[in-house]
Structure 1
């Protein structure tokens, strides 16, 4: 069996009262959270995204990956000790794993969300229970059309991770692209697919801007971000 990777989506919301702290206090809070992210990112994938302006109930998304669940656990223990975490809540949190798709012959990528595209759109997903009672051949036929629709949008990288039994949702799906309109068109087209009728839930949807951890933290209190570009930690 190919090695599977855990992927954790952690959405943070910062208490507005934090912005009333002195500038140096805010800077120290951010430095502590940045240090936790930098330490994790030395030898494991960590990406940051800002949701400031795209959602009212979250401000930042931190995505961590590791073959070992304990790594992700330890990271969040350290993260919770940072100054900024004392002002943060976690309104949404999704845990998933990579694994081969039963409907596609494409190889499983050991890591997801590795592109340098500007935006990522993320949502949890569940199928209706009746879906799993269909014959395997019928499910594969239905999903083949769904997959072919996605392939007509090569400018979008589609990532599917699996959560059966390890979190409340069944899947976490993410779409990386440079033009949000391309994603809108893809989703609108997928709504008409046969597979869409078997979807129980595919919300909330998060529109996220890719940037370095430092830039995403600076966006929390309006610090200058001269170039909001996908970047490393």
Structure 2
């Protein structure tokens, strides 16, 4: 088995409020928000890593909230999900998307692949699953490295955009889950447009759905849902 440097597992959990949520009395919603927030705080404390929250209200129609968690084992995500299921608020939320992945050192030179998740705390957090085509893996490592060099060159031209690449091979549907952080979404738009022009782009099989979210305290993200 090759000597590979691994980091934490990561979980991207997306939630959408059901219509029943908006029918609740304001005082009842306030109670449920407090219960939900306390549960997430406790789950992060138990896992030894805070759970970050992001709002998708106004940026994505099928989700309202993203919770991002990292932990040394997947059992922490099970514990978090079980705790959420026990809240009264859980009856008013669906989870339309969820991704499990792992941080590890990149196979490519000069890629800046870090087995630890970089938390830059920038305003916008953009997440999408990605899968390569099978012909990509038929290329030699030298050919792939050359195409990745183009990818890295383009990325380095946008220092305001931080990338976190996580790996889902065999543990979830996509091969990768990629998370970008930026304070200016227009920088990310330009970055993606430039990446479309590099030769390696033809070997991308899928990279949707794309979730553009806004970092904020959980209490504010829940208030934004209504």
Interval of TM-score (by shorter of Structure 1 and Structure 2): over 0.9
Question: Is the 1:3–1:67 Cα contact (8 Å) retained in structure 2?
Answer: no
Q: Which residue of 2 aligns with 1:40?
A: 43
Structure 1: gaps spanning 5 or more residues: 222-233
Whether 1:27 aligns to 2:30 is yes
Q: Tell me the matched-pair count.
A: 220
Whether 1:49 aligns to 2:54 is yes
Question: Is the 2:41–2:50 Cα contact (8 Å) retained in structure 1?
Answer: no
In the superposition, the TM-score normalised over structure 1's length comes to: 0.91
Per-residue CA shift, 1:122-175, capped at 9, x if unaligned?
A: 100000011101111111111111111011100010110000000000000111
Whether 1:103 aligns to 2:103 is no
94, 100, 122: which is aligned to 2:99? 94
Per-residue CA shift, 1:69-111, capped at 9, x if unaligned?
A: 1111111110111122111111111110000111134352423
Whether 1:198 aligns to 2:203 is yes
In the superposition, the TM-score normalised over structure 2's length comes to: 0.94
Structure 2: gaps spanning 5 or more residues: none
CA-atom RMSD in angstroms: 1.2
1:24 Cα deviation after fit: 1.5
1:3 Cα deviation after fit: 4.3
Question: Is the 1:118–1:177 Cα contact (8 Å) retained in structure 2?
Answer: yes
Where in structure 1 do 4 or more consecutive aligned residues deviate above 4 Å? none
Q: Which residue of 2 aligns with 1:2?
A: 5
